[in-house]
């Protein structure tokens, strides 16, 4: 069984990544096991750069393999914003609700057909020897005209799936974890781990 530290402070991500990786022979530790882990400043210019930095800093701190997720929402009518700034769209320390409100305000008056958007997720798996791999996924949809649903986290209550007419926050966690940007990136990670078939180390 390999041990991987998930370098994220987002409880929603932790829940989803645990659920999706459950079937693998992986011991996924969260940062809660490392209360003194440093805060990572996300100053990269892409999802990849930020994910790489989070994974590298936590792998170097713990001496373990680390996995990081940098993700966000790209809205076409806003030229791809908020993108890498998704978590702080309504300002540093903004909560999900404030970010969603800011988005609804900026898109006020934009008709449904022009509200297309995509969730993006980039994962980096960083090894203590300095090697790393990255995986990504995207999920296309629209920004709804009203906030709806209570599931998930982040922008889920405003991300509308045209095929079902529901927001992601109106899906069950199983439904979200079958189709999301994070699920797709994690599927690529799973394929990689299986191919690489880490030796099943016998240890206590």
Ligand X SMILES: O=c1nc[nH]c2c1ncn2[C@H]1C[C@H](O)[C@@H](COP(=O)(O)OP(=O)(O)OP(=O)(O)O)O1
Catalytic residues: 70
Choices 8-16, 57-65, 141-149, 190-198 (CB under 6 A): range interacting with ligand X: 8-16
Choices 69-77, 105-113, 143-151, 195-203 (CB under 6 A): range interacting with ligand X: 69-77
Find the binding residues for Mg ion in span 83-102 (CB under 5 A): 87
DSSP structure string for the chain: -EEEEE----HHHHHHHHHHHTTSSEEEEEGGG-TTPPPPP---SSHHHHHHHHHHHHHHHHSSEEEEEEEEEEEGGGTT-BGGGGGGTTSTT--HHHHHHHHHHHTTT--GGG-EEEEEEEEEEE-TTS-EEEEEEEEEEEE-SS----SSSTTGGGEEETTTTEEGGGS-HHHHHHHSHHHHHHHHHHHHHHHHT-------
25 vs 95, beta carbon nearer ligand X: 95
- Residues in binding contact with ligand X, number by CB under 6 A: 21
Choices 2-10, 58-66, 106-114, 125-133 (CB under 6 A): range interacting with ligand X: 2-10
CB of 7 to ligand X, least distance (A): 7
Tokens of 192: 């990689």
Find the binding residues for ligand X in span 121-140 (CB under 6 A): none
180 binds ligand X (CB under 6 A): yes
Select from ligand X, Mg ion, none the partner in contact with residue 49, using the beta carbon and a kind-dependent cut-off of 5 to 8 Å. Answer: none
Which residues lie near ligand X (CB under 6 A)?
8-10, 13, 42, 69-73, 86-87, 99, 119, 152-156, 180, 182
């Amino acid at each position: 069984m390999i041990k991987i530290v998930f370098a994220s402070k987002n409880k929603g991500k932790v829940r989803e990544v645990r659920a999706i990786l459950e079937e693998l022979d992986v011991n996924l530790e969260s940062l809660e096991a490392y209360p003194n882990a440093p805060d990572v400043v996300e100053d990269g210019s892409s999802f990849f750069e930020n994910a790489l930095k989070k994974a590298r800093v936590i792998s170097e701190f713990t001496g373990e393999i680390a996995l990081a997720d940098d993700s966000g929402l790209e809205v076409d009518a806003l030229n791809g914003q908020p993108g890498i700034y998704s978590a702080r769209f309504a300002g540093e320390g903004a909560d999900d609700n404030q970010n969603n409100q800011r988005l609804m305000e900026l898109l006020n008056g934009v008709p449904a057909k022009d509200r297309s958007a995509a969730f993006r997720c980039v994962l980096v798996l960083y090894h203590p020897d300095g090697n790393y791999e990255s995986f990504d996924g995207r999920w296309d949809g629209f920004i709804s005209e009203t906030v709806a649903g209570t599931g998930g986290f982040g922008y889920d209550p405003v991300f509308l799936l045209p095929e079902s007419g529901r927001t992601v926050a109106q899906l069950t966690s199983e439904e979200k974890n079958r189709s999301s940007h994070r699920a797709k990136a994690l599927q690529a990670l799973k394929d990689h781990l299986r191919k690489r078939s880490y030796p099943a180390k016998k240890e206590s």
